[in-house]
Amino acid sequence: MQETKIIPIADGQTADREQNTFDAWSEISIAASKVAPVWPLQNFVAVNPYFGLTGNRWIEAAAELSVTAKASSSMTPDFYKKQLETGEMTVADIEEALESLGSQMNPSDLLNALDKNENEPTALPLMSDLYCRHSGVEASEIILEQMSKWCAEYFDQGQAVVTGTSERDELFTSWLEHQKIDMTLPVLGLADFHEILSELANNPQHACKKMLFNLGLDREIVPLYLHRLARSVGGWIAYARYLDWGAQLENRSSNIAATLLTVRLAYDWYCFNSQAKIMGPEILRQNFRWQYPLTATTEPSPLIYLQEAYENAVRRKTLSLFRETPKPSHAYRKDLQAAFCIDVRSEVYRRSLESQSSGIETIGFAGFFGLATDVRHFGDTRQNAHCPVLLKPGYQAQEVPVFAEAQKAADTQSAVVANWFSFRVFKSSAVSSFAFVEALGLSYLVRTITDALRMTRPAGLANARGMIGRESADDVRYELTAADGSSLSLEQKVELASSILAGMGLEKDFARLVFLVGHGSTSVNNPHAAGLDCGACGGNSGAPNAQLTADLLNRADVRHGLEQRGLYIPSDSWFVAALHDTTTDKLSFLSTELVPDDHRVELDTARRHFDAATALTQAERIKRLNIIGTKTLEAELRARSRDWSEVRPEWGLAGCKAFVAAPRSHSSYTSLDGQAFLHSYEYENDSDFKTLELIMTAPMIVASWINLQYFGSTVDNAVFGSGNKTLHNVVGKLGVLEGNGGDLRVGLPMQSLHDGKNWMHDPVKLSVIIRAPTSAMNDVINKHGMVRDLADNGWLHLYAMSDLGAISHQYTGGGHWIDLGKRDTSKARTVA
Amino acid sequence: MSSSNAPDEDAMQTFLSILPLLLPITYICAGLWLSNRTMPNLNTGVSPSFPNCALKIIALCPIGLAVALLTAQAWQGTMAIELLTLTYLSVALKADLFAAVMTVLVATVGAICLLFSRRYMAGDPGQANFLKYMVQTLACVITLILSNTLFLTVLAWIAMSLSLHRLLLFYPERAAAQRAASKKYVAARIGDLCLLGAATLLAITFGTDQIDTILATAKAQESVDVATVFATLLIVAAAIMKTAQFPFNGWLIEVMETPTPVSALLHAGVVNAGGFLVIRFSDLIIQSSEAMWLLAIVGGMTAVIGSLAMVSQTSIKVGLAWSTVAQMGLMILQCGLGAFSAAALHIIAHSLYKAHAFLTAGSVIDKEKMPLRLADWRFTPTLLYSGLLLIGASLVMVLTNLFNLNLMASPGGILVMGLFVLGTMHLICAFLMLERINITAVAGVGVMLMIVSLSYGAAHEFAHKWLGVSSTSPDSVETAKYVWTLLVLFALAMVLVIQWLYALGTRPAWLRSLLIHAANGFYASAITDRLLHNRRRPTLQSFSN
pLDDT at B356: 95
Q: Which amino acid, B362?
A: G
Q: How much of chain B, in percent, has pLDDT values that exceed 90?
A: 44
Q: Average of pLDDT values for B442-449? A: 82
Q: Does A227 have pLDDT greater than 90?
A: yes
Interchain contact, B124 vs A430, CB within 8 Å: no
Mean pLDDT of chain A: 87
**Cβ contacts (< 8 Å) between B316 and chain A: which residues?**
159, 729-731
- Which residue of chain A has the CA closest to B322? A430
Q: Does A19 have pLDDT greater than 60?
A: no
Interchain contact, B118 vs A754, CB within 8 Å: no
pLDDT at B225: 86
Q: Calculate the CA A367 to chain-centre distance.
A: 15
Interchain contact, A435 vs B420, CB within 8 Å: yes
Give CA–CA dist A148/A158, Å, rounded. 16
Give CA–CA dist B114/B261, Å, rounded. 8
**Cβ contacts (< 8 Å) between A628 and chain B: which residues?**
42, 45-49, 52
Q: How much of chain A, in percent, has pLDDT values that exceed 70?
A: 91
Q: Does A18 have pLDDT greater than 80?
A: no
Pick from A340, A373, A338, A374: nearest CA to A359: A338
Q: What is the DSSP string of A548-614?
A: HHHHHHH-HHHHHHHHHTT----TT-EEEEEEEETTTTEEEE-SGGGS-GGGHHHHHHHHHHHHHHH
Interchain contact, A160 vs B122, CB within 8 Å: no
Give CA–CA dist B106/B23, Å, rounded. 11
pTM of the full structure: 0.93
Interchain contact, B174 vs A739, CB within 8 Å: yes
Give CA–CA dist A494/B101, Å, rounded. 70
Report the residue from A157, A432, A741 with minimal CB separation from B423. A432
- Which residue of chain B has the CA closest to A40? B365
CB atoms within 10 A of CB A3: 5
Q: Average of pLDDT values for B202-208? A: 90
Cβ-contact A394, A499 below 8 angstroms: no
Cβ-contact A712, A234 below 8 angstroms: no
Q: Please give the C-alpha separations between residue B376 and each of A354, A370, A416, B436, B505, in angstroms, as whole numbers.
A: 50, 34, 16, 11, 11
pLDDT at B46: 54
Helix, strand, coil share of chain A (percent; to 5): 50, 10, 40
Return the SS3 of A364.
strand
For the ranges A264-268, A460-464, B477-481, the maximum mean pLDDT occurs at: A264-268
CB atoms within 10 A of CB B441: 23
How is residue B256 annotated by DSSP?
A: G
- Characterize A485-516 residue by residue with b for buried, 16 or more Cβ atoms within 10 angstroms of its Cβ, and e for exposed: eeeeeeeebbbbbbebbbbbbbeeebbbbbbb
Cβ-contact A698, A390 below 8 angstroms: yes
Rounding to the nearest 10 degrees, give the CA dihedral for residues A261, A266, A268, A272: 150
pLDDT at A432: 92
Interface of B with A in 289-328 (CB under 8 A): 303, 307-308, 310-319, 323, 326-327
Q: Does B3 have pLDDT greater than 70?
A: no
More confident residue, B153 or B11: B153
Interchain contact, A138 vs B535, CB within 8 Å: yes
For B474, residues 6+ apart whose C-beta sits below 8 A from its C-beta are B406, B409, B410
For A157, residues 6+ apart whose C-beta sits below 8 A from its C-beta are A40, A732, A733, A734, B368
Q: Does B376 have pLDDT greater than 70?
A: no
Cis peptide before A107 (omega within 30 of 0): no
pLDDT-wise least confident of A302-306, A655-659, A823-827: A823-827
**Cβ contacts (< 8 Å) between A378 and chain B: which residues?**
371
Interchain contact, B368 vs A157, CB within 8 Å: yes
pLDDT at A7: 34
Q: Average of pLDDT values for B425-430? A: 84
For B545, residues 6+ apart whose C-beta sits below 8 A from its C-beta are none
For B162, residues 6+ apart whose C-beta sits below 8 A from its C-beta are none
Give CA–CA dist A94/A85, Å, rounded. 14
Give CA–CA dist B520/A150, Å, rounded. 11
β-partners of residue A810 are A799, A818
Give CA–CA dist B44/B122, Å, rounded. 10
Interchain contact, A431 vs B314, CB within 8 Å: no
Give CA–CA dist A624/A626, Å, rounded. 6
Cβ-contact A338, A362 below 8 angstroms: yes
pLDDT at B411: 85
Cβ-contact B286, B269 below 8 angstroms: no
> Using CA of residue B388, residue B394, residue B398, residue B400, what is the dihedral sign?
positive
Is B50 part of the contact surface with chain A (CB cutoff 8 Å)? no
Give A57-66 pLDDT, tens digit per residue.
Answer: 998 899 889 8
Q: What is the DSSP string of A235-293?
A: HHHHHHHHHHHHHHHTT----HHHHHHHHHHHHHHHHHHHHHHHH-HHHHHHHHHTTS-
For A403, residues 6+ apart whose C-beta sits below 8 A from its C-beta are A409, A467, A469, A470, A471, A475
CB atoms within 10 A of CB A741: 21
Cβ-contact A134, A275 below 8 angstroms: yes
Q: Does B475 have pLDDT greater than 70?
A: no
Q: Average of pLDDT values for B358-364? A: 93
pLDDT at B367: 83
Res. B393 pLDDT band, cuts 50 70 90: low
CB atoms within 10 A of CB B497: 10
- Characterize A692-715 residue by residue with b for buried, 16 or more Cβ atoms within 10 angstroms of its Cβ, and e for exposed: bbbbbbbbbbbbbbbbbbbbbbbb
Q: Average of pLDDT values for A186-203? A: 91
pLDDT-wise least confident of A108-117, A118-127, A307-316, A616-625: A108-117
Interchain contact, B117 vs A645, CB within 8 Å: yes
Q: Average of pLDDT values for B52-76? A: 89
Q: Does B309 have pLDDT greater than 80?
A: yes
CB atoms within 10 A of CB B38: 11
Res. B86 pLDDT band, cuts 50 70 90: confident
Q: Does A737 have pLDDT greater than 80?
A: yes
What's the number of CA atoms in the CB half-sphere (13 Å) around residue B303?
33
CB atoms within 10 A of CB B64: 13
Mean pLDDT of chain B: 85
Pick from B164, B156, B189: nearest CA to B252: B164
- Which residue of chain A has the CA closest to B345? A438
Cβ-contact A142, A188 below 8 angstroms: yes
More confident residue, A77 or B387: A77
Pairing mode, strands A476-482 and A395-401: antiparallel
Q: Average of pLDDT values for A80-98? A: 90
Interchain contact, A160 vs B311, CB within 8 Å: yes
Res. B374 pLDDT band, cuts 50 70 90: very low
- Which residue of chain B has the CA closest to A439? B456
Q: What is the DSSP string of B84-145?
A: E--TT--EEEEE-HHHHHHHHHHHHHHHHHHHHHHHHTTT-TTHHHHHHHHHHHHHHHHHHH
Q: Average of pLDDT values for A632-643? A: 83
- Classify the phi-psi angles of B322: left when phi > 0, otherwise alpha if psi is within -120 to 50, otherwise beta: alpha
Give CA–CA dist A72/A720, Å, rounded. 10
Cβ-contact A155, A734 below 8 angstroms: yes
Cβ-contact B423, A434 below 8 angstroms: yes
Rg for chain A, CA atoms, rounded = 28
A/B interface, count of CB pairs below 8 Å: 411
pLDDT at A166: 76
CA of B531 vs chain A CAs: smallest distance (Å): 9
Pairing mode, strands A574-581 and A513-520: parallel
Q: Please give the C-alpha separations between residue A270 and each of A126, A127, A193, in angstroms, as whole numbers.
A: 12, 9, 7
> Can you give the three-state secondary structure of A778-813, one letter per residue?
HHHHHHCHHHHHHHHCCCEEEEEECCCCCEEEEEEE
Return the SS3 of A534.
strand
Rounding to the nearest 10 degrees, give the CA dihedral for residues A506, A511, A513, A515: -30
Give A465-502 pLDDT, tens digit per residue.
Answer: 555 555 555 678 899 999 888 899 999 999 999 999 98
Q: Please give the C-alpha separations between residue A523 and each of A532, A701, A707, B419, in angstroms, as whole numbers.
A: 9, 27, 22, 38
Give B157-198 pLDDT, tens digit per residue.
Answer: 999 999 999 998 999 988 888 888 888 888 899 999 999 999
Cβ-contact A154, A168 below 8 angstroms: no
Pick from B431, B123, B91: nearest CA to A626: B123
